[in-house]
Structure 1
Amino acid sequence: MAADPQYRAQVTRRRLLAASAGAAAVLGAAGLPVLQTNGPARADGKWRVDPLIPAQNRGIILYSVRDRISAAPDDSGVPYGFERVLASLAEMGYKEIEFAGYNQHTSILGRQITPTEIRKILDDNGLVANGTHTSIRADTFQQQLDIAEELGMKNIGTGSDPTNSAYQSDWDAAADLWNELGRQAKERKMRLYTHNHDVAYSFLLDSGPLDANGKPTRSSGVRRLEYFFAKTDPKYVFFECDIYWAYVARHKHTKYINSAGQEKTSLFDPILNVARRTKRFPLFHAKDGNRNTALPNGYEMIPLGEGDINFQQFFQTIGESDFHHANWEMDTAPGGAANPGQSLDFARLSYANMADLTIYNKD
């Protein structure tokens, strides 16, 4: 993947700063701010250019570089393990880390690293832990809060949905559990969050004829996670929007069968989904994709700023830039034995493109 600065600047201006007319019309009709593609024409000091994502809120989930976190010492010259990889990420400019496990190769220390040792590496590199993808269960939640507290986290979460079910009753039960666990997290000065994949925005089965097991077979048109928004207490339950998977949901989950057996179309808008409740989203996965309707998901993952998702419009419209924290993620970043440095190269390119996102403000 080329990382030439001139090439990168051309790509980010073309793909990150161009808002589609269709999206602008939808946002305007909803009473939300519409991205202006032309900057201020004058340079009289009345305008300034600010970063759209503040430097201190630019992060990475370590899943993107999991190959190098878990690597044994080798002669590739590529960093491995927490100490070397986190130092490399800090050098790139990242300020925040979202964890995807707390283990590295035992040959590095002759044993497994401890959360206390990881915290020292964070501190030594000026990094802050902004969250984690861990297992959220009632029987182990306090132990997970202990680890999160040791690492200095303000947020604790999971990469899985609160339930994999399509049925309203299961989401009701999940909401009851998450309200309680969220209350426990708040007592420890943390926020509990869940992270979406595309299926979270598929349609709830909540109406129509029942099947042989007494389960509903049709939908009122409510999406699973949107139902969960309403059933959970905003003081206790928060969300991490994976922007890539939200756009996949827009591509995949467009139709449902209503209680009368009629097929209905309902388009999902990732920007409006967040903008209506922007303070419930402290974290985001800034994951990019090339549009490719020949693929089942409609997109192919690619480093941030090199794809077709309009992050400029997304982050500018949802506002609250000081509240929101963006973690770069690319599930397919590792290059394997053929290119062991690929995930870190992509991390460097993605950070530079994230830093290029800017907004005009009046003084």
Structure 2
Amino acid sequence: MNRRHFLRTAGGLTLGSLATIALGCRPSDETSQAASGAPAGTRRLERIGLQLYTVRTLMAQNVPRTLERVAEIGYQEVEFAGYFNYTPQELRQMLDHLGLSAPATHVPYQALEANLEATLETAQVLGHRYVVVPWLPPEQRQTLDDYRRWAERFNRWGEACKAAGVQFAYHNHDFEFAPVEEQIPYDVLLAETDADLVKMELDLYWITYAGHDPIPYLQQYPGRFLLCHVKDMTADRQMVDVGQGTIDFARIFAQAVGTQLQHYFVEHDQPEDPLASIRRSYEYLAQLRF
């Protein structure tokens, strides 16, 4: 199942399992997840998260057992991509039982257009701090004006999210970095959105795949990139488990200490063995120093 079809399906599941009463779980202020006071070369990630899209085939079979296995490996945070017909209250009970938190969720833009209030209620129940739109349809990203229209929507959704105590964010792929009308669409999104209302979830694989270095973005836009997807790439641009490729995560994370990244979600779009994949990625990140 590709991401586009999955997100459309997840959107249906989201709207089919929305809570009608929020439990008032407002997000607390963010704090850096990296030990920013430690000397360079000794810092480490204190909390490692997982984008559950990586284990979506297992989630479709058995959500409680999959979350249990994720926690057993050592992950402390998860980012949802669909709720698999469970109610937010049921999922919150599972998370609390396992000592997991879910600071973020991927939500298809259709869900925000169809029922933003219900989406935010679900986020509050599950303790999501971020509601992330992960993808834009090709037919609505052909021109810079298309991207400007998306920026207007992002600002509008961001304002509604802020009123509900949640932060709106957008997750990139590679297409945002392909020049349109001699400009980089991703730069247009950054320029045309309110920095307070719209944060960015930086996918380290896709920005690298597109031929861009993430560090200039981290330097130029402090406070915009509070989440990231940690996924690795080989020299021939194949996606692999974290630590099996060429991306210098220590270099990137060192740049973000104290000012940027606060949530690090491992992801692999097409792992052959999802549990083995997320274990390898976790073990690499757990020993990484920067």
TM-score interval for Structure 1 and Structure 2 normalised by the shorter chain = 0.7 to 0.9
Normalized per residue, the structure richer in helix is 2
Deviation at 1:130, TM superposition (A): 1.6
Match of 2:46 among 36, 51, 54: 54
Equivalent-residue separation in structure 2 for 1:348 and 1:230 (angstroms) = 38
Equivalent-residue separation in structure 1 for 2:274 and 2:88 (angstroms) = 24
Partner letter of residue 136 of structure 2? D
Q: Contact 1:166/1:224 (CA < 8 Å) preserved in 2?
A: no
Equivalent-residue separation in structure 1 for 2:101 and 2:264 (angstroms) = 13
Deviations 1:167-196 (A, max 9, x none): 122222221121111011011111111111
Q: Contact 1:282/1:324 (CA < 8 Å) preserved in 2?
A: yes
Q: Contact 2:233/2:246 (CA < 8 Å) preserved in 1?
A: yes
Larger radius of gyration: 1
Unaligned 5+ runs, structure 1: 1-45, 72-80, 104-111, 206-218, 251-267, 293-298, 336-341
Question: SS at the partner of 1:279?
Answer: coil
Equivalent-residue separation in structure 2 for 1:198 and 1:64 (angstroms) = 19
Partner letter of residue 354 of structure 1? L
Partner residue, 2:104: 131
Matches of residues 62-81 of structure 1 in structure 2 within 5 Å?
62-71=52-61, 81=62
Equivalent-residue separation in structure 2 for 1:321 and 1:303 (angstroms) = 26
Deviation at 1:161, TM superposition (A): 3.4
**What fraction of aligned residue pairs are identical, expressed as a percent?**
30
Partner letter of residue 101 of structure 1? G
Partner residue, 2:72: 91
Matches of residues 204-219 of structure 1 in structure 2 within 5 Å?
204-205=180-181, 219=182
Partner residue, 2:175: 199
Partner residue, 1:317: 255
Partner letter of residue 312 of structure 1? A
Q: Contact 1:284/1:326 (CA < 8 Å) preserved in 2?
A: yes
Q: Contact 2:128/2:166 (CA < 8 Å) preserved in 1?
A: yes
Partner residue, 1:281: 225
Count of aligned positions: 250
Partner residue, 1:349: 280
Equivalent-residue separation in structure 2 for 1:350 and 1:91 (angstroms) = 14
Unaligned 5+ runs, structure 2: 1-37
Partner residue, 1:247: 208
The change in CA–CA distance for 1:300 and 1:48 in structure 2 (over 3 A counts) is closer
Root mean square deviation, CA, Å: 1.9
Deviations 1:114-141 (A, max 9, x none): 2111110000111110211112233322
Partner residue, 1:142: 117
TM-score by length of 2: 0.81
Deviations 1:211-257 (A, max 9, x none): xxxxxxxx2xx20011110110011001111100001110xxxxxxx
Question: SS at the partner of 1:189?
Answer: coil
Partner residue, 1:209: none
Q: Contact 1:52/1:321 (CA < 8 Å) preserved in 2?
A: no
